[in-house]
Structures are given as C-alpha cells and as structure tokens.
C-alpha cells in the first residue's frame, strides 16, 4: 500500500470513530436483570444531563455523579416508580437544567432564548463594526 492510501484509511478510521460514538458508560454491575426495566433506565438516562460534563447524558458520562444518578434511576424503577415520577424526582432535586431538553416554562425561558439573543447581539455588533470600519477606510 502506498503512503497516500494509508493516510486516507487512517483519516477515515479516525473520522468514523469521532462521529460514531457508541460507547456508553453504564457498567455491567449497574445493568438490571429485567430487560424491559433496563431499557426504561437507559431511555431515562439518555434524557438526563450529566451535571459535571454538561453536554453529555448520564448514559454516556463516566463521572461519579452520573454513575450515582444511573444507579438512583434503576433503584426508582425497581421501587415501581413510573417515568414521570422519576423525572419529577430528579427535577425537584436538581432543577430543570438536569433535563437535556428542559420544558418551555416561565423559569426556563432564559435556557431556551438566551442563545438566540446572544446570536442576534453578535450579528448587530459585527454589522456595526463592519459599518464603522468601512466609514474609516
């Protein structure tokens, strides 16, 4: 194989690894014996934000807090709690920020609209800066 082919294959491999993230941080000791309960736990875990990693779900995170939350969710499922009760417990304890998709409520309006507001402010600043630099030049 030529050096060019090796380079292309290695770049392809690394890009594939980068974009296809199938690793989950759930340890074998955490997995429930009942497949339906485990599937519920995984679905809930995929919707809960790791408070340490911020942009990862607790299903993907290796942080100790994420592990504790995964175990807590599994304990609640074993106790017979439904998904709504588990989400309510977590949001009562940690706030709506723990949800990867927080509900649109009055107290979460900033979470939803602040990125758009900053984007608009950034466009205005860039526009004004370009306008001033054209007037000087």
Yes or no: say if 66 and 25 are a contact pair by the CB < 8 Å rule: yes
Q: Compute the distance between CA of residue 22 and CA of residue 42 in angstroms, rounded to an integer.
A: 13
pLDDT tens across the length of the chain (137 residues): 688 888 888 888 777 776 665 555 676 667 778 889 899 999 999 999 998 887 899 988 888 999 999 999 999 999 999 999 999 999 999 988 899 988 888 887 887 889 999 999 999 999 999 988 888 76
pLDDT for 75: 94
Determine the Cα–Cα distance for residues 58 and 54; give it in Å rounded to an integer: 9
The confidence score (pLDDT) of residue 27 equals 66
The whole-number pLDDT of residue 20 equals: 61
CA angle at residue 23 from 22 to 28, to 5 degrees? 125
**Max CA pair span of the chain:** 71
Residue spans per domain, the chain: 25-103, 109-137
Count the alpha carbons within 13 Å of 4 in the hemisphere toward its beta carbon.
Answer: 0
Q: pTM for the full model?
A: 0.64
What backbone phi and psi angles, to 5 degrees, belong to 91? Answer: -75, -30
Matching residue, tokens 């074998």: 28
What is the Cα gyration radius of the chain? 22
Whose CA is closest to 108, among 100, 96, 91?
Answer: 96
pLDDT of residue 81: 95
User: Residue 49: phi, psi to the nearest 5?
Assistant: -80, 135
Q: How is domain 25-103 classified at the CATH fold level?
A: Helicase, Ruva Protein; domain 3 (1.10.8)
**CA angle 9-12-15, nearest 5°?**
150
CA–chain centroid gap for 16, Å, is: 20
The confidence score (pLDDT) of residue 88 equals 96
């Amino acid at each position: 194989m030529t050096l060019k082919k090796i380079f292309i294959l290695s770049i392809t491999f690394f890009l594939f690894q980068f974009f296809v993230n199938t690793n989950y941080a759930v340890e074998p000791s955490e997995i429930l014996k009942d497949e339906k309960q485990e599937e519920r736990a995984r679905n809930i875990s995929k919707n809960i934000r790791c408070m340490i990693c911020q942009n990862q779900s607790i299903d993907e995170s290796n942080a100790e807090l994420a592990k504790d939350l995964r175990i807590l969710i599994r304990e609640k499922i074993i106790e017979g709690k439904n998904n709504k009760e588990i989400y309510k417990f977590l949001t009562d304890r940690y706030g709506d920020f723990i949800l990867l998709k927080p509900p649109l409520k009055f107290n979460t309006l900033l979470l939803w609209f602040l990125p758009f507001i900053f984007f608009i402010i950034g466009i205005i600043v860039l526009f004004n800066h370009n306008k001033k630099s054209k007037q000087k030049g």
